[in-house]
Amino acid sequence: MTTTGSFIVPNLISKNQSQLNNVGSESGKHRPETGQDVRVGNVTAALAVANIVKTSLGPVGLDKMLVDDIGDVLITNDGATILKSLEVEHPAARVLVDLANLQDQEVGDGTTSVVIIAAELLRRGNDLVKNGIHPTTIISGYRSALKAAVSYIKKEMVVNVSELGDEHLINAAKTSMSSKIIGKESEYFSKLAVDAVKSVKMNATAADVAGYDAMGSGGGGDAEAPPAETTSPDGGTAAVSKKQRYKYPLSAIHILKAHGKSSMESHLIDGGFAINAMRAAQGMPTFVESTVDQPVVKIAMLDMNLQRHRMGMGVQVIVKDPAEIENIKKREMDITKERIRKIIDAGARVVLTTKGVDDLCMKYFVEAGIICARRCNREDLKRLAKATGGKVVTTMADMEGNETFDADSLGGCDSVREVRIGDGEMLYVYGCKGHGASTIVLRGANEYMLDEMDRALHDSLCVVKRMLESNTLVPGGGAAEAALSVYLDDYANTIQSREQMVIQEYADALLVIPKTLAVNAAKDASELVAKLRSVHAKSQHSEDVSDDGLKFLGLDLVEGTIRDNLAAGVVEPAISKIKSLRFATEAAITILRIDDRITLNK
């Protein structure tokens, strides 16, 4: 299937995209302005957005080819990437695009699901309005259903990760990768993702712990620690937690893409950092390591030129004696030489700069046996500075105008080696002495493949991070949605108001996920979803303890049956499911509240 990316072009292939543009056009013949027409237009636009990504859901979902107006091609099935690339005109449709981006930032996975659920809630909400139910009643019913659904997930569906071990972390990563380009190699890449996230483990602060609790998560750690204390209402102190919690900053994980070899040649540099740069001169050493005299290899990270100092544009120098010109040139060379001497005297054995290094400077570095690399990526240096405990130096001038180089700005590591990867060389930094860091070097045939591998791995890293921090998971494959649908149907029967119909519609809307999964897998969606609802109804209504395990049953899209997805390893973070429901419900409510659209001509 082909949709457009970056800019909407005239010869659209996707009927959903065409529909979206027609609804959003300011010059259309039937541009909605007030009342029900506005609501219908908003819902139609939202459904058009959802239909674009609907067929990409699940392990056998299809890819999208995004082509911009200059012919650049992007092939992906990542919901956030697809929607981010579209130039959506309709304001209601933009709400769903922003919703996918929010899910991507907050959770990292589930972007397609959240858009599909939001669109289905909008469609059913619009039908209720047509049948005479007031939007305020629908909004109230949706919020009641959301509250009940989240409560049920936390009480009945959640499984503690610490009781299951690393196997389920790997399974969660594999579930996230199952629909991606690396799905066939998910066994290898899932272990890579888990090892990478665990390598950047840090103690969580009080603010981090508060954030975990706000997300409805459990403890994020496994090591016993003294309980944190907080002031109680009577002025005393009360224990907050008996376990140390941890955080896993994904910014400390660097992903480097290198053309060549197969994807299975990708590897993790645990506690190290790879930078896409090479030695500036062949005379420099290819390997620097710590010694007895120098137990730490010092790295200088610069955002400045190491070239012969020249007067800036517009600077005029008036000389009376032509011989002074030579003195000026000599002084320009001496300034650069003094700068290099200060860096070397500070103890630097590796020098990395984002700008240029000329032959004169290289000569001094070669003589000192120092590795120097130029034109490094600025963002890479910032990450390396955090990993090694150093700072990126932008100028050597102090407050008084004198030039000095602070040795405290140097980063530290065990060794630095130049390694040949593909057609070029890269610098590997091992044993970083700052915060935890690691690098995943991705190998692949071409740029398109590497970009899609990067997106797939990023989603998996986010999933593992969320599971480690929240310590909870739920079964996937439509199990949670089917269980919630049955539960909310029963809950609706206890409501003695018009909200009963709204909650029943909310329950039915959640079934769009297992239905879409089955349709995308070319299975009989009606039969599979009916079986799934049947076993979950038995699980919730039966008093037999042996039936309690039925709540983990979900879809097996390969065999076209239902199975225990917890035992099969099809799992996802509980926080991902909860946030998907919250974001989708709030987005649907936001759009359903609108009954007028006023075009401002400025």
Residue 469 within a domain: no
Of residues 396, 593, 503, the one with CA closest to residue 146:
503
Shared domain for 13 and 155, answered yes or no, is yes
Residues in contact with 278: Cβ distance below 8 Å, sequence separation at least 6, in sequence order: 373, 418, 424, 425, 426, 427
Shared domain for 21 and 93, answered yes or no, is yes
- What's the distance, CA 98 to chain centroid? 15
So what's the pLDDT on residue 287? 92
Neighbours of 11 (CB within 10 A): 6
- Asked whether 46 and 591 are in contact (CB, 8 A), the reply is yes
Shared domain for 428 and 564, answered yes or no, is no
Residue 554's DSSP bridge partners are 563
So what's the pLDDT on residue 13? 38
Residue 360's CATH number: 3.50.7.10
User: For residues 181 and 35, what is the distance between their CA atoms, to the nearest angstrom?
Assistant: 45
- At 475, phi and psi to the nearest 5? -70, 150
CA dist 350 → 329, 355, 411, 467 (Å):
28, 15, 10, 38
Last residue of a domain, one of 404, 435, 466: 435
Residue 513 within a domain: yes
Residue 153 within a domain: yes
Shared domain for 73 and 197, answered yes or no, is no
So what's the pLDDT on residue 32? 41
Q: With a cut of 50, list the residues of the chain below it in pLDDT.
A: 1-15, 24-30, 32, 217-241
Residue 443 within a domain: no
Helices (H), 25-165: 35-54, 79-85, 91-106, 111-130, 135-152
Residue 569 is part of which domain span? 2-160+475-592
* HSE-CB of 97 using CA atoms within 13 angstroms: 19
pLDDT digits (tens, 9 = 90+) for 182-240: 888 888 999 999 999 988 888 766 666 555 555 554 333 443 333 444 334 444 443 33
Which one is catalytic: 4, 111, 439, 585? 111
Shared domain for 224 and 320, answered yes or no, is no
- Asked whether 80 and 103 are in contact (CB, 8 A), the reply is yes
Pairing relationship of beta strands 348-353 and 371-373 according to DSSP bridges: parallel
Residue 253 within a domain: no
So what's the pLDDT on residue 301? 94
Residue 441 within a domain: no
Shared domain for 358 and 371, answered yes or no, is yes
- Asked whether 306 and 344 are in contact (CB, 8 A), the reply is no
- Asked whether 374 and 356 are in contact (CB, 8 A), the reply is yes
Residue 40's CATH number: 1.10.560.10
Which one is catalytic: 4, 76, 112, 472? 112
So what's the pLDDT on residue 8? 39
Q: Give the predicted TM-score (pTM) of the model.
A: 0.80
Shared domain for 28 and 66, answered yes or no, is yes
- What's the distance, CA 515 to chain centroid? 26
**Annotated catalytic, 78?**
yes
Neighbours of 1 (CB within 10 A): 12
Shared domain for 28 and 154, answered yes or no, is yes
Of residues 573, 584, 562, the one with CA closest to residue 477:
562
Shared domain for 130 and 236, answered yes or no, is no
Which one is catalytic: 459, 472, 516, 585? 459
- Asked whether 36 and 132 are in contact (CB, 8 A), the reply is no
Shared domain for 334 and 397, answered yes or no, is yes
Number of structural domains in the chain: 3
Residue 461 within a domain: no
User: What is the crossing angle of helices 186-198 and 447-470, to 10°?
Assistant: 50
- Asked whether 25 and 12 are in contact (CB, 8 A), the reply is no
Shared domain for 62 and 204, answered yes or no, is no
Residue 556 within a domain: yes
Last residue of a domain, one of 380, 408, 435: 435
**Annotated catalytic, 293?**
no
Shared domain for 131 and 147, answered yes or no, is yes
Which one is catalytic: 4, 55, 78, 516? 78
Residues in the chain: 602
- Asked whether 499 and 138 are in contact (CB, 8 A), the reply is no
